[in-house]
């Protein structure tokens, strides 16, 4: 028996969009797409040579042997409760924040998690080879199967259980969600100073590259790290028009200082 799968996709959003094409390119056959918004499943099916949009997530009596649930976190439990499969079908979700357990309502399924650690937009091509794929399953045989599948489309495959994936998600909130907010504040300050918004891009790139190569705490620079009280006081004065950013400035400065103690 070939290890290539006959796959059904549930969801037709950003993750499903890129994942479907990566699975297809790796030699699998994406044969069915279900979305609560029929127009979305039709649009994605048109991109795939063998896929047809289906009107319900019921794959009993079909040749589908793997189902990928790529739906929003908040919808996952509800959609999972509707899924019907033949016994022994592989069913995985693609969420970083949801546990494996959420799929346990699906009778007869071999369940797992297949989490691509990246943010996707339909309009932007993705090199899936570079996307870390985090896999989890309830038994070793399913885990091996998932691993093989993942290794077919990415060079970075990692076994991560639900508890560890939660910790990873928290780390990602700091490294990505929170930094994005700081980039927003920075761009607003540039705009208010009538400076081009891309002026800091080379410095940001270098900061990211340095943090990847060293311990960021060790290469920390800036007024907080060198305890330059004059500059800190001047910055706080400049932020008086933005009390919310002033609070963040104080909290981050204090944390950097405390880390240097």
In the window 20-79, what residues touch a copy of itself (CB under 8 A)?
Answer: 73-74
CB 5 within 8 A of CB 24: no
Give yes or no for residue 187 binding a copy of itself (CB under 8 A).
Answer: yes
* DSSP secondary structure letters along the chain: --S--EEEEE--SHHHHHHHHHHHHTT-EEEEEE-SSHHHHHHHHTTSTT-EEESSSB-TTSS--EEEE---GGGHHHHHTT-B--TT-EEEE--SSS-GGGGTTSTT-EEEEEEE-S---TTS---GGGS-EEEEESSHHHHHHHHHHHHTT-S-EEE--HHHHHHHHHHHIIIIIIHHHHHHHHHHHHHHTT--TTTTHHHHHHHHHHHHHS-TTTT--STTTTT-HHHHHHHHHHTTT-HHHHHHHHHHHHHHHHHT-
Give yes or no for residue 81 binding a copy of itself (CB under 8 A).
Answer: no
Q: Minimum distance between the CB of residue 65 and a copy of itself, rounded to whole angstroms? A: 29
Q: Minimum distance between the CB of residue 226 and a copy of itself, rounded to whole angstroms? A: 8
Give yes or no for residue 252 binding a copy of itself (CB under 8 A).
Answer: yes
Give yes or no for residue 246 binding a copy of itself (CB under 8 A).
Answer: no
- Residue from 78, 171, 229, 240 that binds a copy of itself (CB under 8 A)? 171
Nearer to a copy of itself, 3 or 178 (CB): 178
Which segment (28-36, 82-90, 139-147, 169-177) binds a copy of itself by CB under 8 A?
169-177
Nearer to a copy of itself, 60 or 197 (CB): 197
Nearer to a copy of itself, 3 or 192 (CB): 192
Nearer to a copy of itself, 54 or 224 (CB): 224
Q: Minimum distance between the CB of residue 223 and a copy of itself, rounded to whole angstroms? A: 7
Binding flags for a copy of itself, 139-158, as an x/- string (CB under 8 A): -------------------x
The whole-angstrom separation of Cα 251 and Cα 245 is 10
Nearer to a copy of itself, 26 or 189 (CB): 189
Interface with a copy of itself (CB under 8 A), residue total: 84
Give yes or no for residue 199 binding a copy of itself (CB under 8 A).
Answer: yes
Closest CA to 22 of 116, 142, 161, 134: 116
Give yes or no for residue 100 binding a copy of itself (CB under 8 A).
Answer: no
The whole-angstrom separation of Cα 170 and Cα 176 is 10
Q: Minimum distance between the CB of residue 59 and a copy of itself, rounded to whole angstroms? A: 30
Give yes or no for residue 178 binding a copy of itself (CB under 8 A).
Answer: yes
């Amino acid at each position: 028996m070939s290890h290539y799968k006959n796959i059904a996709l549930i969801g037709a959003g950003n993750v499903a969009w890129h994942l479907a094409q990566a699975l297809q390119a790796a030699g699998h056959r994406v044969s069915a797409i279900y979305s609560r918004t029929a127009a979305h499943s039709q649009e994605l099916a048109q991109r795939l040579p063998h896929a047809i949009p289906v009107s319900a997530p019921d794959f009993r009596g079909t040749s589908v042997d793997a189902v990928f649930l790529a739906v929003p976190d908040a919808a996952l439990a509800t959609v999972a409760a509707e899924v019907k499969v033949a016994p022994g079908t592989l069913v995985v979700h693609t969420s970083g924040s949801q546990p494996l357990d959420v799929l346990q309502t699906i009778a007869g399924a071999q369940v797992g998690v297949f989490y691509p650690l990246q943010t996707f937009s339909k309009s932007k091509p993705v090199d899936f080879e570079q996307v870390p794929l985090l896999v989890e399953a309830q038994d070793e045989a399913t885990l091996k199967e998932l691993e093989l599948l993942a290794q077919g489309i990415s060079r970075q495959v990692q076994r991560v259980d639900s508890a560890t994936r939660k910790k990873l998600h928290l780390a990602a909130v700091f490294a990505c969600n929170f930094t994005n907010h700081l980039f927003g504040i920075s761009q607003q300050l540039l705009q208010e100073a009538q400076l081009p918004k891309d002026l800091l891009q080379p410095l940001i790139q270098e900061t990211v590259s340095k943090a990847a190569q060293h311990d960021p705490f060790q290469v920390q620079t800036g007024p907080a790290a060198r305890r330059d009280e004059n500059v800190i006081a001047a910055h706080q004065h400049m932020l008086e028009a933005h009390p919310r950013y002033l609070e963040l400035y104080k909290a981050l400065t204090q944390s950097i200082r405390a880390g240097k103690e």
